Amino acid sequence: MENILTKYANLLVHYCLDIQPGDQLYVRSSTLAEPLVREVFRSAVTAGAHVETALDFREKNRIFLGEAGEKQLQHVSPLYRQVMATFDAYLYIRAPFNLREDQNVDREKSKLRQEAHQEINDTYFRRTASRDLKRSLCQYPTQAAAQEAGMSLEEYQEFVYGACKLFARDPMASWLEVRNRQQHIVDHLNQCETVRYVSEGTDINFSTKGRTWINSDGRTNMPSGEVYTSPVEDSVNGVIHFSFPGNYMGHEVEGVTLWVKDGYIERWEARRGQDFLDHIFQLKGTRRFGEAAIGTNYDIDRMTGNILFDEKMGGSVHMAIGQSYLQAGGKNQSSVHWDMITDMKREGLVYADDEKIYEKGKFLL
């Protein structure tokens, strides 16, 4: 275990974040991830970085939203503000105690809190888009995440580390191979102007003219393995059915179908979680799409209830409502960015400029 965590930490520090001497690095996680945080700290300090850490405890956010008054909800940590504005690198290690901790928090309080952080979120998206702020999001295996995935903790550890290619002799070299393979795909897509997804219950098309497809090769998420863009906001038309369940802010939805005209989501339904979906679509910017993507990581071969992994699953596509990616040319703004996923392995097709480039979960390029 110590050896695999050392490999994990070195991959995060040297490949994902490319830490250089003098970089200011902020590491955020929970106390459950202390073993990995310790190794990241060691690796980053050895590389010459100045490291600050923040470890959340059990139910911290739920307690805050339950007890805080309006002024507290509107208060933004000066340290967090400084990190987002001036630090060189940011690492967030997911290590949940309980994935349902926030399920029953006051929605109005949660909304007020999100609004208070909007300015900082804008700074974050702007700086990460330009890589002025190097960031990475990753996972430390915990019992809660293992249970959500339907695995024992040991099985989940194997799954997480395998998806991150940590069992390879040289994980960094493995991710460089991913980068090279996916670059061929994005080079082709960046020469095209229209894209169409077709599968069971789905026929949706959008323009990517003036937008950029991005090679997600592990430098901003670990694991990664996807190609993505932000579609032209008013160009999305058709219907999309998400065959896999989704989870956002501790709420599960299932069987989501969206009907879209000229970029605007006119109608929606869910087989389960309709009330929460209704709530989300009342929030600013959520009735337009911020992302369209294709997952390419075939080491991720099942849904786990964790979007960091699920959206990368080989043989799937996803679209996200809400916040766009500035680095892709997107313009939609929202406090929400919710990825929803559909399976393409049975009968999925992707067309680019009317050319079939993908069939049954595999690129034809």
Amino acid 249: pLDDT: 81
- pLDDT tens for each residue of 205-264: 999 999 999 999 999 999 999 999 999 999 999 999 999 998 888 788 999 999 999 999
- pLDDT tens for each residue of 18-42: 999 999 999 999 999 999 999 999 9
Amino acid 3: pLDDT: 92
Mean pLDDT, the chain, as a whole number? 95
Residue 67 structure tokens: 């007890």
CA atoms within 13 A on the CB side of 234: 0
- What proportion of the chain, given as a percentage, has pLDDT over 70? 99
Amino acid 106: pLDDT: 86
Q: Which of 227, 230, 232 is nearest to 185 (CA)?
A: 227
Sign, CA dihedral 118-223-48-134, equals negative
What 3-state class would DSSP assign to 314? Answer: coil
- Is the pLDDT at 105 greater than 90? The verdict is no
Amino acid 100: pLDDT: 86
CATH superfamily of 2-140: Thermophilic metalloprotease (M29) (3.40.1830.10)
**Domain-wise residue ranges, the chain:** 2-140, 171-363
Q: Which of 183, 233, 232 is nearest to 209 (CA)?
A: 232
| CA dist., res. 247 & res. 99, Å (int) | 10
Amino acid 247: pLDDT: 85
Regarding predicted confidence, which is higher, 46 or 130? 46
Name the pTM for this structure. 0.86
Amino acid 322: pLDDT: 96
Contact 20, 86 (CB under 8 A): no
- pLDDT tens for each residue of 75-92: 999 999 999 999 999 999
- The arithmetic mean of pLDDT across residues 279-307, rounded, is 95
Amino acid 251: pLDDT: 86
- pLDDT tens for each residue of 182-211: 999 999 999 999 999 999 999 999 999 999
Amino acid 21: pLDDT: 98
Amino acid 1: pLDDT: 54
| β-bridge partners, 350 | 197, 358
Give the number of other CB atoms < 10 A from CB of residue 116: 15
- Is the pLDDT at 2 greater than 90? The verdict is no
Torsion angles phi and psi, residue 40, rounded to 5: -65, -45
Residue 92 structure tokens: 């967030």
